[in-house]
Amino acid sequence: MPAGTLYRGREGMWSWVAHRVTGVLIFFFLFVHVLDTALVRVSPEDYDKVVATYKTPIVACLEYGLVAAILFHALNGLRVIAVDFWSKGPRYQKQMLWSVVGLWVVLMLGAVYPVLGHAARELFGS
């Protein structure tokens, strides 16, 4: 470990890094999402035109990435709360992180068909 750094590596630091990166990404998406939804106040045609881009295969992959970021941030956020408020939280933080990662993998596999199925039908026909 290099001297003079607060970064300790391992599960604790990398989960913190991932929480930060996913949080910033989600926040930037939120700005865009409020703006695109605001188009319902302009006209149905303009709204539907912009929402059509959400249904293209490339943006569907970005949506899958958004779901990945949100699910990790949500599950790891619950782990952070457990570390802060549960008396045994700090002792089990590593086990909780690997539970979070495991649950995240399962949910992401479950999200493949619902989120990407539409794009797959568009690309390869149904």
Partner 1 sequence: MSTTETTASGVGPVEGAPVHSADNPAPLIEAPRLRTKKTPKSTRGNFEMYGWLFMRLSGVVLVVLVLGHLLIQLVLDGGVSKIGFAFVAGRWASPFWQMWDLAMLWLAMLHGANGLRTVINDYAERADTRLWLKGLLYTATVFTILLGTLVIFTFDPNIR
Question: Is residue 40 close enough to count as binding partner 1 by CB under 8 A?
Answer: yes
Instruction: State the Cα–Cα distance between residues 63 and 70, nearest whole angstrom.
Output: 10
SS3 93: helix
Options 30, 103, 106, 112; binder of partner 1; rule CB under 8 A: 30
Options 12, 16, 18, 23; binder of partner 1; rule CB under 8 A: 23
SS3 7: coil
The footprint of partner 1 on residues 89-108 (CB under 8 A) is: none
Instruction: State the Cα–Cα distance between residues 70 and 74, nearest whole angstrom.
Output: 6
Options 13, 17, 38, 105; binder of partner 1; rule CB under 8 A: 38
Q: In which region does residue 23 sit, left (phi positive, over 0), alpha (psi from -120 to 50) or beta (all else)?
A: alpha
Binding string, residues 55-94; x marks residues near partner 1 by CB under 8 A: x----x--x---x--xx--x--xx-xx--xx---------
Instruction: State the Cα–Cα distance between residues 123 and 12, nearest whole angstrom.
Output: 41
Instruction: State the Cα–Cα distance between residues 81 and 72, nearest whole angstrom.
Output: 14
Residues found near partner 1 in the complex (CB under 8 A): 20, 23-24, 26-27, 30-31, 34-35, 37-38, 40-41, 43-44, 47-48, 51, 54-55, 60, 63, 67, 70-71, 74, 77-78, 80-81, 84-85, 111, 114-115, 117-118
